[in-house]
């Protein structure tokens, strides 16, 4: 009898493989970082070969460390950094160029030209605002800027994929070219009402349909892992979801109105809106959460482009701390932010502002400012960006948030979680298992092969680790928010040329 599900969690800075048992407990983890490339200001790239080699090596490592035979693995699930765009040759499997990462801004000017004539059309069909963040303009850029790419694409010789599709292609030895609706809905080419690739949008971006993967549900058997990578048996790949939707599922936010935030490289906040697409009036995104057994669940989403990445910058750019965790103890050397506010929009501003030309800004520095104040302002800057998105969500659905579920690496910081509860003035709830992104992919894969019976069985596994209650007075929280929004205004539209 199979005892485990393996989740492949392919993130922006590292690839991980995690073994889960039937109780949803983490049995073993393997992780490997891979390089980021910044060829020009505002450009961010990955090497698709390095994504693949890091991911397949941690898969082999975690199987070896856990010492499990193939017949004990019920299924493999995939969760991935979303929007990151790659195109490869169908015959050779060779990428035509580096992957263009979701953070990349090279197509911002082109996206600006589309906003006036097509903004409403794209929002209605895809649930997205026009931005360089999404895949469509990245695909177009690759076809127009890599020698011979457009001609090959017109002949049907190239394949496009987000990271899930690339991993599935590689794991099955090039047999399967598939994505799921949670990833397809982030391309700006997928109609989330019709649940299909949209010909009008393909024409607008000048992208041949032959490039695109088939869209299957988030929980079904797509193919089997090639025996080169897991020897001794046919292990099904049976679950796919983009990282934020996977975390929503892993947090068991399966009821309408439930909210989670993942604190990773960026911060991504999703609210389950059930079987209906909620059209945001406050610059949030409507997106597919998942599709299981023919039923589609939608979500509202707000993304902070720079969350944990702000801490990385304080570590690597400012060199105020040697490790990311050390920012907590440095921030605790001061009682408050000393009037310092850091708006960490180091890659433009996401929801609800959508300002591609905003830049990181530190305000309120005086002679009395210390490294502790900057450390604290960094953590507050992450929490305050999240606050702005929650308020926009509350306006869209006409209801206030009662409980806020958190996960991701930075949610392990008690100080950050306390700051979050303080600015919200309501409870922030951290689960026992923080690996909710990988867990969500494992649950989707396990459901497809009967490892778990249904979502009700899974929901019983979710457990609280700690509830953070507000300790700051409402007056003090209002004061912090006033100056925060002043700082946000200063950061906006910084780049003019």
Give pLDDT tens digits for 339-350. 999 999 988 888
Q: For the chain, what is the total number of helices (H) and then of strands (E)?
A: 15, 23
Q: How confident is the model at residue 360 (pLDDT cuts 50, 70, 90)?
A: very high
Torsion of CA 357, 162, 46, 313, to 10 degrees: 50
Lowest mean pLDDT among 50-54, 56-60, 394-398, 443-447: 394-398
pLDDT tens digits for 93-116?
A: 999 999 999 989 999 999 999 999
Give binding residues for ADP as ranges: 12, 16, 265, 308, 409
Is 80 exceeded by the pLDDT of residue 403? no
Yes or no: say if 251 and 407 are a contact pair by the CB < 8 Å rule: yes
Residue 399: what pLDDT? 78
How far, in Å, CA of 383 to CA of 417, rounded? 8
Largest CA distance in the chain: 66
How far, in Å, CA of 468 to CA of 420, rounded? 9
How far, in Å, CA of 209 to CA of 282, rounded? 32
Count of other CB atoms within 10 angstroms of residue 244:
30
pLDDT tens digits for 184-206?
A: 999 999 999 999 999 999 999 99
Yes or no: say if 355 and 348 are a contact pair by the CB < 8 Å rule: yes
Give binding residues for ATP as ranges: 12-14, 265, 308, 312, 409
When pLDDT is averaged across residues 424-442 and rounded to a whole number, the result is: 90
Fold exhibited by the domain 4-244: Nucleotidyltransferase; domain 5 (3.30.420)
pLDDT tens digits for 443-478?
A: 999 999 999 998 889 988 888 899 999 999 999 999
Residue 497: what pLDDT? 60
Q: What is the pTM of this model?
A: 0.87
Is 70 exceeded by the pLDDT of residue 28? yes
When pLDDT is averaged across residues 388-409 and rounded to a whole number, the result is: 86
Give binding residues as ranges: 12-14, 16, 82-83, 133, 243-244, 265, 308, 312, 409
Backbone phi, psi, residue 397, to 5°: -100, -5
Residue 40, C-beta contacts closer than 8 angstroms, at least 6 positions apart: 106
pLDDT tens digits for 122-153?
A: 999 999 989 898 999 999 999 999 999 999 99
Is 90 exceeded by the pLDDT of residue 375? yes
Bin 408: left if φ > 0, else alpha if -120 < ψ < 50, else beta.
left
Residue 87: what pLDDT? 98
Residue 299: what pLDDT? 94
* Separation in Å, CA 67 to CA 72, 359, 438: 10, 48, 20
Give binding residues for sn-glycerol 3-phosphate as ranges: 12, 82-83, 133, 243
Which among 135, 124, 133 is positioned nearest to 162, based on CA atoms?
135
Cite the beta strand spans of 285-442 per DSSP E. Answer: 285-292, 295-304, 341-343, 361-363, 404-407, 428-431
For helices 474-491 and 414-424, what crossing angle results, to 10°? 100
How far, in Å, CA of 25 to CA of 28, rounded? 9
pLDDT tens digits for 267-319?
A: 989 999 899 899 888 889 999 999 999 899 999 999 888 888 899 999 999 99
Residue 426: what pLDDT? 86
Mean residue pLDDT of the chain comes to: 93
């Amino acid at each position: 009898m199979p005892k485990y599900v393996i989740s492949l969690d392919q993130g922006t800075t590292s690839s991980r493989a995690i073994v889960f048992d039937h109780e949803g407990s983490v049995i073993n983890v393997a992780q490997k970082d891979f390089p980021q490339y910044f060829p020009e200001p505002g450009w961010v790239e990955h090497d698709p070969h390095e994504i693949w080699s890091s991911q397949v090596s941690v898969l082999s490592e975690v199987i070896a460390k856990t010492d499990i035979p193939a017949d004990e693995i019920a299924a493999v699930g995939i969760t991935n950094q979303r929007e990151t765009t790659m195109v490869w040759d169908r015959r050779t499997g060779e990428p035509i160029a580096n992957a263009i990462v979701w953070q990349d801004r090279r197509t911002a000017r082109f996206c600006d030209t589309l906003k006036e004539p097509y903004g409403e059309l794209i929002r209605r069909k895809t649930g997205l605002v026009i931005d360089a963040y999404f895949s469509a303009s990245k695909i177009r850029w690759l076809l127009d800027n890599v020698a011979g790419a457009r001609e090959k694409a017109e002949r049907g010789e190239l394949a496009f994929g987000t990271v899930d599709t690339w991993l599935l292609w590689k794991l099955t030895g090039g047999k399967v070219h598939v994505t799921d609706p949670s990833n397809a809905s982030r391309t700006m080419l997928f109609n989330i009402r019709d649940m299909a690739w949209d010909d009008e949008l393909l024409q607008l971006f000048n992208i041949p349909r032959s490039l695109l993967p088939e869209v299957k549900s988030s929980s079904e058997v797509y193919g089997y892992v090639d025996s080169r990578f897991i020897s001794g048996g046919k292990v099904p790949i049976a679950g796919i979801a983009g990282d934020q939707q996977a975390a929503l599922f892993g947090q068991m936010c399966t009821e309408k109105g439930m909210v989670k935030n993942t604190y990773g490289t960026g911060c991504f906040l999703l609210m389950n809106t059930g079987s209906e697409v909620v059209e945001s009036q406050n610059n949030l995104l409507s997106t597919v959460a998942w599709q299981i057994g023919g039923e589609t669940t939608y979500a509202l989403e707000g993304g902070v482009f720079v969350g944990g990445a702000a801490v990385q910058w304080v570590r690597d750019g400012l060199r105020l701390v040697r490790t990311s965790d050390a920012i907590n103890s440095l921030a605790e050397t001061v009682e408050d932010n000393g009037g310092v506010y850091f708006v960490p929009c180091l890659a433009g501003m996401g929801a609800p502002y959508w300002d591609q030309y905003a830049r990181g800004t530190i305000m309120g520095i005086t002679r009395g400012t210390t490294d502790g104040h900057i450390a604290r302002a960094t953590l507050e800057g992450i929490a305050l960006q999240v606050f702005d998105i929650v308020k926009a969500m509350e306006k869209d659905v006409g209801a206030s948030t009662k409980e806020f579920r958190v996960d991701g690496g930075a949610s392990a910081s008690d100080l950050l979680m306390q700051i979050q509860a303080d600015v919200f003035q309501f409870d922030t709830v951290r689960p026992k298992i923080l690996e909710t992104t990988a867990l969500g992919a494992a649950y989707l894969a396990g459901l497809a092969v009967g490892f778990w019976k249904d979502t009700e069985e899974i929901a019983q596994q979710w457990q609280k680790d700690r509830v953070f209650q507000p300790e700051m007075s409402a007056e003090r929280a209002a004061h912090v928010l006033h100056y925060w929004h002043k700082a946000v205004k200063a950061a906006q539209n910084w780049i003019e040329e």
